[in-house]
């Protein structure tokens, strides 16, 4: 038989979400890029909210399907999810070229891969970068 809880009893808490978040954050330097006098800053993907990462993974899936249209078309789908719509708009406002976007995409993907590797997590795309 289990003992009944009395109305004033509180459940014992082993840890809080706040404690876990503080413990889990690796020391990864943000990726910063200058864009015509502005600075775009990408925090580590480890600091990204889970719902935002879900959006990135959905965009990865969609960009893989668009791959038949070429890397540029796939990148236009994925990059805004990875760097944020506001940062992407900053690039568009600066009149970035497709070639420039593709190079930025490479650097952002390398940053993501390094951030995941730093905490011992496999590539979220489940692919090897060879």
Residue 69: what pLDDT?
60
- Going residue by residue through the chain (130 aa), what tens digit of pLDDT does each one get? 555 555 568 889 998 998 888 887 777 888 999 999 999 998 888 888 888 888 888 887 776 666 556 667 777 778 998 899 999 999 999 999 988 998 999 999 999 898 888 877 765 555 444 3
Give bridge partners of residue 32 from the DSSP assignment. Answer: 41
Any domain includes 77? yes
**pLDDT at position 6, please?**
58
- Per-residue model confidence (pLDDT) at position 124: 53
The pLDDT, as a whole number, for residue 68 is 55
Judge contact between 43 and 25, C-beta under 8 A: no
3 part of a folded domain: no
Task: Specify if 128 maps to a domain.
Answer: no
Position 112 in a domain:
yes
The structural domain count of the chain equals 1
| Structural domain of 64 | 49-118
């Amino acid at each position: 038989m289990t003992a009944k809880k009395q109305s004033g009893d509180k459940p014992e808490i082993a840890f809080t979400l706040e404690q876990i978040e503080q413990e889990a954050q690796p020391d990864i330097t943000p990726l910063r890029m200058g864009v015509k006098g502005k600075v775009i800053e990408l925090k580590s993907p480890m600091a990204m909210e889970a719902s935002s990462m879900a959006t990135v993974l959905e965009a990865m899936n969609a960009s893989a399907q668009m791959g038949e249209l070429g890397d540029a078309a796939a990148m236009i789908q994925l990059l805004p999810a990875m760097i944020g719509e506001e940062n992407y708009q900053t690039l568009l406002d600066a009149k970035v070229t497709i070639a420039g976007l593709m190079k930025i995409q490479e650097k952002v993907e390398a940053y993501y891969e390094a951030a995941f590797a730093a905490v011992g997590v496999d590539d979220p795309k489940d692919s090897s970068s060879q």
